[in-house]
Amino acid sequence: MNAPAPKTIYLKDYQVPDYLIDTTDLNVDIHDGYTLVSCMLALRRNPAAKQAATELTLQGADLELVSLSLDGRLLEEGDYTFGEESLTIFNTPETFTLITITKIKPESNTSLEGLYRSRTMYCTQCEAEGFRKITYYLDRPDVMSEFTTKVIADKKYPVLLSNGNLIEQGDAGEERHYAIWHDPFKKPAYLFALVAGDLAHIEDSFSTSSGRAVTLRIFVEPKDLDKCDHAMASLKHAMRWDEEVYGREYDLDIFMIVAVDDFNMGAMENKGLNIFNTSCVLAKPETTTDVGFQRVEGVVAHEYFHNWSGNRVTCRDWFQLSLKEGFTVYRDSEFSADMGSRTVKRVEDVTLLRTLQFAEDAGPMAHPIRPESYIEISNFYTMTVYEKGAEVIRMLANLLGKENFRKGTDLYFDRHDGQAVTTEDFVTALADASGRDLSQFKRWYSQAGTPRLDVTDYYDEDAQTYSLTIKQSCPPTPECQNKLPFHIPIAMGLLGSAGDLPLYLQGSQPDFETSDNTHRVLELTDAEQTFVFERVQEKPVPSLLRGFSAPVKLNYAYSTRDLILLMSRDSDGFSRWEASQQLGLQAISAAMAAYQQERSLDGFSLSAQLVDAYRRVLQDASLDQAMVAYMLTLPSEAYISELADVIDVEAIHYSRQAVRKALANALADDFTRIYQSYDHRQPYAATADAIATRSLKNVALAYLMLIHDEGSIRACEQQYRHGNNMTDVMAALTQLVNSEAPLAQEYSLAALADFFGRWQHESLVVNQWLSVQAGCQLPDTLSRVRALLQHSAYDGKNPNKIRSLIGAFCNGNAINFHSGNGEGYAFLADQIIQLNRQNPQIASRLLTPLTKWKKYDHVRQQLMKAQLERIRAEPELSKDVFEVVSKSLA
């Protein structure tokens, strides 16, 4: 029989803590098989509490209490009581010192929360509620304390680290030693970090704008020491950028990063001691793809930026998670845009948002970026909180302008330094600094769902006026059936036959002082508004939502001719890419109609007009080559599925493939020219230009491999054999594995064996080997995945391995995961049931494909629902999995 349903926590029930903790003194004594944690807290009643407390409730999980004393008096059983995950102490005075000693077992902690063992080290992960697995504590973000931490361990773990600055270290007798760290900045427990291990490090320094010297260290296992240079360079770039763009200096004497192989997340911004998943810090050309290099740069910057947007100013409660994450994602996105191509970065971010976050908004886990309730907070580290949260910050930046946005963030940091605050506090600071009324804008924080903009237009040739009428709507969600209008910034322009037209918006002054008056931002605040432009001498094509200025779905009846004009002439790079995507969708929709009418897609052809438009893109020397690669890449199956009312798995897959093959045949000469002009002997560089050139060359190779030409297949195999960087090697291997051609399949078997033999001792590279096989779209891939579960390369306790194999198959291989017999659904349910007991966080995140069951045909709906019900029937279901399954079945 299942246990009672876990309790739901509501934002409306928030109350300030009864007690505050001024100082926290930790003594963490690590032994093989167990760790003793002594914790001394200086507590006082919170003057902001509604009434004076007479008891103290601390959170704790999986702890063995050794002793408990209050002001030097050892407490007995009648002085306290245990709850399910709590310890309540009775008759507590106004101020007192509490000392707890607990015993924990990091070696058997498979949840990877709190203190746990990973390979050669002990490490921690405390966000969101992991600190309670280390000691009893007020484990909530609005309780901020000054930490001093003593770490004691055997000398076989020579590196002992914690937050802040090192103040003392020495011998502890019997081949043991200690280190004491002090963090002068008050922080909540979720920002605590500790590492003890056999690690090597690289070291550098950074001079702040005020002249302070900061020591920088990146700690890794000794074998990975040659993969840290890119992360260090990224860190220094981020530190300088944050000073120049936001005026934020680093505040401690040392900044440290530790790379951990077993980690549930990407990285963690613990104050002064960032703990990273190895996949987000290790990089070198032989083992890391271009995407990997870019990810390291972005994640290193993200976690560093948290020092201010998350650490110095933190969240009052977990409902405010987007306060730090949305803001910091926006900051790291802008940093990456400044380091490379702004348009390319925008395309990448929007692709992620529209594919995954829009789907989340339309599914059972839909929630505002400031949720109203949760059962398990770990389930709300979502695309909505992070990516949509960043889009909301971007809208604020665009509405306020660069100068006022900077004034607003300066006021926010100055006003709330050292505090735990809310999203309301953030928006209020921006409003106060800019003088703008942002009250309507705040609806973005409280209303879930993706708004839809329906746009119609009218051109009056005699009056030379052009009218745009925009209606906004948002689908109902369980917590809100009738959405109020959002405040939506719509960046736009008008295109004539020769390009951008000047804009004379009725009732508004033209902007010639700061621009050529061909671009402006309309502010939509009503359910329906009409904007009239004057002095329009020809019927224009509207360029709408430039730069994707708001996270909305746009509906405007563009013709093929309109889209070709936008793709070739628009001054906004994002809009040119978006036009190419819409053209691709038109072609795929035509192929899907044929497929659904049971007409053969063999020899499916494209219009000469469409082929010519793509050819002009390939031949446009003015375009960034990365943009050409993106414009030639058709919308993904996941994005097409998100757009569909009912997902037709086979129609989407085979129709997209038919359009790809048609483009490959029509543009074969151009793709051959691009591929053959690339010099494979040039040394690897992770620069924007070099990445762009490789990207376009590998897109050309992917198209050529669809033709099944023997010369292209041999060229692909040669690229695999002789590639001098992992980007080219993986691009070639992926094409060989996915090709139906017998010669390619022959090559792929040899290449897979060769790849594993060469890289079997590099864990992150093996992850790529697992993923390329899990992502194979040829039949019977599930059998291959099942076999790989038993392979020596796979570790079912390592989150990176789980994501690389199970996650890659279930999230990224729709044609095989959604096989009509339901085997993919049963396979995923089996893995979730097993992981529920081992690592609930990873289990709940793997559930995502099954949560979308209502978007499929009736047969698949029943098969997916049956697996969700099987999971729900499991005894001792974790809060993480219970919440996702129960919402999915509601």
Total Cβ atoms within 10 A of residue 276: 25
Q: Six-digit token pair at 182?
A: 């002090």
Task: Give catalytic residues, as residue numbers.
Answer: 303
Contacts of 330 (CB under 8 A, 6+ apart): 389, 390, 393, 394, 397
Is residue 785 within 8 A of residue 774, CB to CB? The reply is: yes
In what helix (H) or strand (E) does residue 533 lie, and over which residues does it extend? strand 528-533
d(CA 101, CA 37): 6
DSSP element (H, E) containing 724: none
Residue 128: is the preceding peptide bond cis (ω within 30°)? yes
What type of residue sits at position 545?
L
Closest of 552, 553, 613 to residue 580, by C-alpha: 613
- 472 beta partners: 453
DSSP letter string over 404-467? HHHHHHHHHHHHHTT-EE-HHHHHHHHHHHH----TTTTHHHH--S--EEEEEEEEETTTTEEE
Round to whole Å and give the CA distance between 92 and 88.
10
Which residues, 6 or more positions from 92, have their beta carbon under 8 angstroms from its beta carbon? 19, 43, 53, 54, 55, 56, 70
Q: Provide φ and ψ at 848, rounded to 5°.
A: -50, -45
Cα distance between residue 379 and residue 542, in whole Å: 40
Apex 180 CA angle, 175 and 186, nearest 5:
155
Scored b (16 or more CB within 10 A) or e, 64-102 reads eeeebebeeeebeeebbeeeeeebebeebeeebebbbbb
- Which two structure tokens, joined as six digits, stand for 795? 């570790």
DSSP H or E stretch at residue 165: strand 165-173
Q: ∠ CA(256), CA(765), CA(738), 5° rounding?
A: 140
Picking from 470, 574, 582, 556, the residue whose alpha carbon sits closest to that of residue 519 is 574
CA dihedral 544, 550, 553, 559 (to 10 degrees): 10
Residues 794 and 786: their CA atoms lie apart, in Å, by: 11
Query: DSSP character for 773?
Result: H
| Residue 650: other Cβ atoms inside 10 A | 14
Alpha-carbon separation of residue 97 from 43, 75, 86, 134 (angstroms): 6, 13, 19, 19
Tokens of 88: 């309540």
Tokens of residue 442, six digits: 């705040």
* DSSP conformation letters of 29-73: EEETTEEEEEEEEEEEE-TTSSS--SEEEEE-SS-EEEEEEETTE
Which string of DSSP letters, residue by residue, matches 187-248?
Answer: E-GGG--EEEE--EEEEEEEE-TTS-EEEEEEEE-GGGGGG-HHHHHHHHHHHHHHHHHH--
How many other C-beta atoms lie within 10 A of the C-beta of residue 428?
19
Name the phi and psi angles at 40, rounded to 5.
Answer: -110, 120
Q: Quick check: 624 and 694 in contact, CB under 8 A?
A: no
Name residue 602's amino acid: D
Q: What is the dihedral of CA 292, 295, 299, 305, to 10 degrees?
A: 140
| 3-class DSSP assignment, residue 149 | strand
